[in-house]
Amino acid sequence: YKEGVKIVPDDIKLSPLFCYWWYVCDGFISNGNIKLCTESFDYKCLEILIKKFKEIGITPNINSKKRLFFSKKETLLFLDYISKIKIQKEYEYKFK
């Protein structure tokens, strides 16, 4: 938070562990597509996130609710990216 506003820093680094916990804590699958809850960020922050995802070979979009949205193809890429992390038993339901 910067001055009480939730932001994404320009130098954020995405990693499999970071993305795993983001998905587990603040993401979901709907109709085979992963969505990450990002509605509290402004569009500048969302563009930073999209740029960072593109750097690791995954291209999300922004849906009408300001959530990052992954197509089915990109969902598979995202799940493959985080597959290096052992899924904790409590969160297995997130991966069905």
pLDDT tens for 70-96 read: 999 999 999 999 999 999 999 999 987
- Please give the Cα distance from 70 to 58 (Å, whole number): 8
Provide the percentage of residues in the chain whose pLDDT is more than 70.
100
Q: Which of 86, 90, 79 is nearest to 34 (CA)?
A: 79
As to burial, measured by CB atoms within 10 angstroms (0-12 exposed, 13-18 middle, 19+ buried), residue 14 is: middle
d(CA 8, CA 42): 9
What pLDDT digit, counting tens, does each position of 10-30 carry? 999 999 999 999 999 999 999
> In the predicted model, what is the mean pLDDT of the chain?
95
